[in-house]
Amino acid sequence: MKINRTNAEIKPEDIYQLGNIIEDSRGEYYLVVRDNGTDEYRLVTLSKGRLIATRFGTLKELAECYYEDGDRVVNATFTAED
């Protein structure tokens, strides 16, 4: 994964958008996804490649639950391999 960091100030609801890769304050990376079957939003932890169990009806709800000071969107290229 190639990562370019930025220190721009962004509101939580702007960070937690579909398709964004987020770095949290501990250096963990997450991908915001939508379940096509239920139209609910979730996070995928990229270090483990697993969906986080909690589901949300809106991106705003997801942001309100998970946002912590220091979270930021990263400009990353994600490549999945077999």
Asked whether 30 and 37 are in contact (CB, 8 A), the reply is: no
Model confidence pLDDT, tens digit, residues 22-72: 999 899 999 999 998 899 999 999 999 899 989 999 999 999 999 998 899
Rounded to whole angstroms, the Cα distance separating 55 from 82 reads 27
Split at pLDDT 50, 70, 90, the class of 11 is confident
Indicate whether 5 pLDDT > 80.
no
pLDDT of residue 66: 94
Q: Which residue has the higher pLDDT, 27 or 76?
A: 27
Asked whether 24 and 70 are in contact (CB, 8 A), the reply is: yes
